């Protein structure tokens, strides 16, 4: 079904993995506003209850860790059981492993690497796999939309040097494109969105750093030079989940305020030389 009374997702059932705060919750609300029923997934029971109250009767919630394969299976099954079908997935879940040992390559710890891959890449596999399996069972097409980042291909070495995170977001693009090619004959579409700095709870470190904010004001120059807000992505998400994008697959849409095409300006300063962890130089 196409656009009905300005609504682009009428009769669609959408699962949002990581849909209880920030980008995911904003997108889930936009999907509901466009006529969809949604299942939102989050780890925090209180946030799940709050999302359910915010989104109303066309929302169901699943409490679970996206880094565990059973969570995605439960979410997709909940969509079919509660709303009678399944049409699309938006995978938002993930985040930074900085506090667990992510950083520049020479500083990444084994724990930081494993944690970041589980957070961002294992979870992506589990949700995409569950969604694809269900669409194949239902024998109709659908839309799978993944969250990447401009840091996958447009690095910011001074302020955002978390290389495991960048690797996972680049891998998300690789999985999206490979899956798009393989499942196109089944009318199952795979696309990705790649935001730059957006004001969400996960961006609290950057949002509290004045030097980063000054840099972003030139790196993201659109609309006066500002940090993004979750709503900036909502129209793109709704479009890519809707039938209006039925001839689009394997694409990465940067919603980044100009980040990936603009140089950005730093304060004049000299970076310190890299610190080599003692264990890396031990004989």
DSSP sequence for 38-57: EEEEES-HHHHHHHHHHHGG
Backbone dihedral region for residue 22 (phi beyond 0: left; psi -120 to 50: alpha; all else: beta): left
Point out the catalytic residue in the list 90, 126, 153, 165. Answer: 165
Question: Residue 233 and residue 27: Cα distance in Å, rounded?
Answer: 8
Catalytic-residue membership of 90: no
What sign for the dihedral angle of Cα 106, 107, 109, 114? Answer: negative
DSSP sequence for 139-160: TS-EEEEEE--GGGTS--TTT-
Q: Output the furthest CA–CA distance in the chain (Å, rounded).
A: 69
CB atoms within 10 A of CB 269: 8
Question: Residue 71 and residue 67: Cα distance in Å, rounded?
Answer: 8
110-117 helix and 163-183 helix, angle to the nearest 10 degrees: 30
Q: Which stretches within the chain are classed as H helix?
A: 22-33, 45-55, 69-83, 110-117, 123-138, 163-183, 204-207, 210-219, 231-241, 278-281
Question: Residue 161 and residue 102: Cα distance in Å, rounded?
Answer: 9
**Which of the residues are catalytic?**
165
């Amino acid at each position: 079904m196409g656009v009905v009374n300005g609504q682009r997702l009428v009769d669609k059932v959408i699962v949002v993995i990581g849909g209880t705060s920030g980008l995911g919750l904003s997108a889930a609300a936009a999907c509901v506003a466009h006529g969809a029923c949604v299942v939102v997934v989050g780890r925090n029971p209180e946030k799940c209850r709050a999302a359910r109250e915010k989104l109303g009767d066309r929302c169901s919630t699943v409490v679970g860790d996206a880094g565990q394969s059973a969570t995605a299976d439960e979410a997709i099954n909940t969509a079919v059981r509660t709303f009678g079908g399944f049409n699309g997935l938006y995978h938002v879940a993930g985040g930074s492993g900085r506090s667990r040992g992510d950083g520049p390559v020479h500083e990444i710890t084994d724990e930081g690497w494993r944690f970041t891959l589980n957070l961002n890449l294992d979870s992506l596999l589990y949700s995409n796999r569950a969604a694809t399996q269900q669409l194949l069972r239902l024998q109709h097409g659908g839309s799978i939309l993944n969250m990447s980042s401009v840091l996958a291909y447009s690095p910011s070495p001074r302020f955002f040097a978390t290389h495991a995170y960048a690797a996972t977001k680049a891998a998300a693009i690789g999985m999206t494109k490979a899956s798009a090619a393989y499942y196109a004959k089944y009318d199952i579409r795979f696309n990705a969105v790649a935001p730059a700095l957006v004001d969400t709870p996960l961006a609290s470190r950057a949002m509290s750093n004045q030097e980063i904010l000054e840099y972003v004001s030139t790196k993201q120059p659109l609309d006066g030079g500002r940090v993004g807000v979750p709503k900036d992505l909502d129209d793109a998400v709704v479009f890519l989940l809707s039938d209006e994008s039925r001839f689009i697959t394997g694409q990465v849409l940067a919603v980044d305020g100009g980040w990936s095409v603009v140089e950005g300006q730093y304060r004049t300063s000299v970076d310190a030389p890299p610190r080599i962890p003692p264990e890396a130089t031990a004989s």
